Amino acid sequence: MTYDTAIIGAGINGCATAYFLTQGGEKVALIDREGIAAGGSGAAGAFVSPKFSKGGPLKTLMEESYLFSLDFYERRFPELIRIAPLIHFAKYGDENEKVRAFKETTDLPMLSAMPEAPMTEETKAFEHVLLARSGLVNAQGVCARLAEASDFILDDINIIKYDDGVWSVGTIRAKRVVLATGAYRPVVAMPHIALRAVWGHRVDIKTSTPLPCHLHQYVSIAATGANGEGAIGATHDVHYDPQTATEPYDVEAGRAELLAKAAKTVRLEHVEVLKDYTGLRSGSNDYYPLVGKVADAEASLLAAPGLAKGAKTDAASLVYHPGLYMINGTGGYGFVMGPLLARTLAESLLEGKAVPEALDPTRFLHRWAKRVGK
C-alpha cells in the first residue's frame, strides 16, 4: 500500500498534522523512532497561553493560535485540559512597560479581580495581566488522541528516497512526506534552515496549597487539581543538548532551579515532586515557526545563481523537493501553535490554500545563498 502522507516525528506538530490530514480522508503513516510524544512534546507542561509581548505580527499569530488551540482541545479532549485563569507577572522592572502595552493592545477577555493565591510580596509589586482563561493540557494524552486515525510506525529514519512519484520512508511508501522532527538532526539536508535547540526541564508536583489559577513569571506554575497535583515548568538551557553532550544532565540541579524560581512567585507548602520531564524545543532565528514546502537549497542556487548576490527571486524560480513539507520551529509554544499550524499545512495540502508568507521555510534561503556566495 502507498500512503497519501508519511509524517516523520510524532510530537505535537506531527500528531496534529496527522489529525487534520486523516480528518480530510487521507491515509497517513506517522513514524517516530521512540514513540508518540517522546521528544520535546513529551516534556511539555503543556501550558496554553498567548505571548505577553507588545504589539506586532508575532503577537497576533500567537493570540490567534492560543484562541484556536484552547477551543480545539476543549471541544475534542475536554478531559485532557485544565482550564483556569492565568496571572502573568513581569519579571523585572523593565518588563512592566511591556505588560502594560500588552493589556492596552489585546482584545482577550480579562478578569476584573485578582484570584486569591499566596503570591510573594515581591511578585505582587510587578505589573500583571489577569487573563480569564488559559489551559494546561496533558501533552502525551493529546498527542496519542490526535494520532489515533493514523498508522503509527516505530522506526528511526536516516534517509528518505524519492523515485517515480513516491517516497520510500523506512519500510513504507508515501506520495508525500512531512518532516516534523523538532530539534533533532534533520532527515533531509536543509543548510539554509538553522533551528536552535533549547533544552528544558519541568516537573509534576503535589502541594497542600490550593492554587486556583495558573501563574507565569520566572517559570509557569499550574493551578492545582482536586488532589493538589500541579506542574512547574520549564527551564531554558541553550548549552545542554543530549545529542552532543559528554556529561549526563543533572536532574537534581534542574529540579532545584525550577522550585527556586517558582518560590520567588508563590508560597506553596509541602511540595512533593512526582515526576521530572526533560526535552528539547526547537526555535527559528526569527521566532516564527516553519510550515510548508521544503526547498532544495543547493539546486535553487544553481537554478538562480543571482541569489548569491542578493537578487530577490520569487517562489517559481526556486527548486523544491517534490512532495516534501515541514512543520517545525514552535519553540516553547508547540501546544499553543501546533493545532493551527497543522490545520494551515493540511489545508494547503488538501485544498491548495496558500500558507502565509511569514511561515514559509524558504524565507531563510536568500540569506544562506548570500553567505555561501561570498
Ligand X SMILES: Cc1cc2nc3c(=O)[nH]c(=O)nc-3n(C[C@H](O)[C@H](O)[C@H](O)COP(=O)(O)OP(=O)(O)OC[C@H]3O[C@@H](n4cnc5c(N)ncnc54)[C@H](O)[C@@H]3O)c2cc1C
Distance CA(71)–CA(65), nearest Å, equals 10
Q: How far is the CB of 200 from ligand X (least distance, A)?
A: 3
Q: How far is the CB of 194 from ligand X (least distance, A)?
A: 15
Report in angstroms the alpha-carbon separations of 318 from 26, 190, 200, 291, 357.
28, 14, 36, 17, 15
Residue number, 7 or 119, with CB nearest to ligand X: 7
Query: Measuring CA to CA, which residue among 118, 34, 24 is closest to residue 347?
Result: 24
Distance CA(66)–CA(134), nearest Å, equals 9
Residues 351-370 as b/e (b if ≥16 CB within 10 A, e otherwise) read: eeeebeeebbbbbbbbebbe
Residue number, 19 or 184, with CB nearest to ligand X: 184
At 319, which amino acid appears? V
Element at 344 (helix H, strand E): helix 334-351
Strand locations in 180-297 (E): 195-206, 214-216, 220-221, 229-233, 272-284, 290-295
Q: How far is the CB of 235 from ligand X (least distance, A)?
A: 7
Residue number, 135 or 323, with CB nearest to ligand X: 135
Residue number, 6 or 304, with CB nearest to ligand X: 6
Strand locations in 67-158 (E): 81-89, 128-137, 151-154
Place of cell 508568507: 357
Q: How far is the CB of 295 from ligand X (least distance, A)?
A: 19
Q: How far is the CB of 315 from ligand X (least distance, A)?
A: 24
Task: Note the residues at the interface with ligand X (CB under 6 A).
Answer: 8-14, 31-34, 38-41, 43-47, 156-157, 180-184, 187, 200-202, 233-234, 279-281, 328, 330-336
Residue number, 30 or 307, with CB nearest to ligand X: 30
Q: How far is the CB of 341 from ligand X (least distance, A)?
A: 10
Residue number, 182 or 323, with CB nearest to ligand X: 182
Contact 159, 90 (CB under 8 A): no
Q: How far is the CB of 301 from ligand X (least distance, A)?
A: 25
Residue number, 69 or 300, with CB nearest to ligand X: 69
Neighbours of 194 (CB within 10 A): 11
Element at 46 (helix H, strand E): none
